[in-house]
Structure 1
Amino acid sequence: MTSDTRETLRFLQTENTRLMEENRELRDENATLRRILDVLRTLQDVSTSITASTSVLGLLDRILQSALQSIDATAGSLLLIDDETGELVFTVVEGASREALLNYRLPMGTGIAGWVAQHAEPVIVANVRQDPRFSPLVDETIHFQTLSLVCVPLATPRKVLGVLNALNKAGGKEFTSDDLALLAVVAQLAATAMERAESATPEAHA
């Protein structure tokens, strides 16, 4: 085998490896896009089907499930602000700690969720133990271990309604900026859906 032939073979092997990697990345991107489209279709269906008899809690539960599935989060919650006390209330919870967390109250400003609600800014944290905003209060109360999270405000142009939390990405992976962007879109649509549900109730027109 001549040196030219060896060089050609090495080049072809390198190109083959590069193309295989590009194909893998494209498959991953396509899978992500499909998940995004699925969750957006679900949210559109939810938003357009709101009537006076719509259960707001059922609506929020469906929204949260779709959001968590789309970014491979293993647990998550939707916390709403109690206008009377200013506390954050775990209104919808997905994951093993669902029963223990439902209706649990968190003082405004406590933990990363409290910070997001207070500042109306989204955050993505790869290791919560290294973030000074993290509070172990909830974890210790329900015997849970938060490793990583994405948290976005649930807000309308008028006010912050609460926050949307996604915890511990499957497989020990880190959440990405794409996950954060998708969750922010979900939160915005959820806030809009809540407003529509509220305006559709008879009390809103009394």
Structure 2
Amino acid sequence: MSTEIRGTAHFIQQENIRLQKENEQLQQEIVRLRLILRNLGNLNQMALSIHPETDILVLLDQILQAALDSIQAEDGSLLLVDEETEELSFVVVHGAVRTRLVGHRIPLGMGIAGWVAQHAESVVVPNVQSDPRFSSRVDQAFHFKTRSLVCVPIVFSGRVLGVIQALNKSNRKEFTNPDLLMLNVVAQLAAAAIARAESVLLSEE
């Protein structure tokens, strides 16, 4: 066999190996996406069937977990607007500072989450250190390191109820526009759940 033929055969063999690996990765991604869609569908049904005994915080916790799993984020939080104090309150947190950060408050407008709540706009920030909206106060207070984030508003009938933010994508990858779209879907689900819970509470009064 000539050197040229051997080289071609080796290239084809390597290309086949590469394609097989890509196919396996695509199959795994399809399985993951199907699981995510099923989970989101289940959460949507739960949100629509909220009743007076429903623990809304547990539901929001499950919604946040589904969001982080879907975009492979290491940490994240769901903050709600306190209209009386004009603050954002961390009501559900996942990740390294979960137990310590719940209940912490920040002023509306502070940091990227505060900006998103004020402007009702979604953002993807690959490197928070280069974004002038970023505030390191929470990181410093809780000994945390935010590298990158994606943050979306929770909006219902034109009213900003809060924000969902995902921090530090696994394997130090960057968040993408598809991640932003997925988080927006989850935020809509959270908005429907919160609005439904408010409606149920008002009907009881």
1:11, 1:140 → 2: CA distance? 52
Distance 1:117 1:108 in 2: 7
**Runs of 5+ unmatched residues, structure 2:** none
CA contact (8 A) 1:149 1:165 kept: yes
2:154 touches 2:191 (CA, 8 Å); kept in 1? Answer: yes
Q: What is the alpha-carbon distance in structure 2 between the residues aligned to residue 172 and residue 78 of structure 1?
A: 22
Report deviation, 1:157.
Answer: 2.2
Q: Provide the TM-score with structure 2 as the length reference.
A: 0.89
- Residue 51 of structure 1 aligns with which residue? 51
Q: Which residue of 1 aligns with 2:29?
A: 29
Describe the shift of the 1:43–1:6 C-alpha distance in structure 2 as closer, same or farther (beyond 3 A).
Answer: same
Is 1:148 aligned to residue 134 of structure 2?
A: no
Letter in structure 1 aligned against 2:137? L
- Corresponding residue for residue 19 of structure 1: 19
Residues 78-157 of structure 1 correspond to what in structure 2 (within 5 A)?
A: 78-157=78-157
Given residue 190 of structure 2, which amino acid in structure 1 is its aligned partner? Answer: A
Which 5+ residue runs of structure 1 have no aligned equivalent?
Answer: none
Q: In 1, are the aligned partners of 2:116 and 2:152 still within 8 Å (CA)?
A: yes
3-state SS of 1:78 partner? strand
Letter in 2 for 1:134: F
Q: What is the alpha-carbon distance in structure 2 between the residues aligned to residue 120 and residue 162 of structure 1? A: 9
Alpha-carbon distance between aligned partners in 1 of 2:39 and 2:132, rounded to the nearest angstrom: 32
Across the two proteins, how many residue pairs are aligned to each other? 205
Please give the alpha-carbon distance, in whole angstroms, between the structure 2 residues aligned to 1:109 and 1:144: 20
State how far apart, in whole Å, the 2-side matches of 1:39 and 1:71 are. 14
Corresponding residue SS for 1:134: coil
For residues 127 and 35 of structure 1, do their structure 2 counterparts lie closer, same or farther at Cα, with a shift above 3 Å needed?
Answer: farther
Superposition CA RMSD, Å: 2.1
Deviations 1:131-166 (A, max 9, x none): 111100100111111111111101112300010011
Q: Could you report, residue by residue, the CA deviation over 1:120-140 in whole angstroms, capped at 9, with x for unpaired residues?
A: 111111211111111001001
Does the aligned pair in 2 maintain the 1:39–1:70 contact within 8 Å? no
Report the TM-score, using the length of structure 1 for normalisation: 0.89
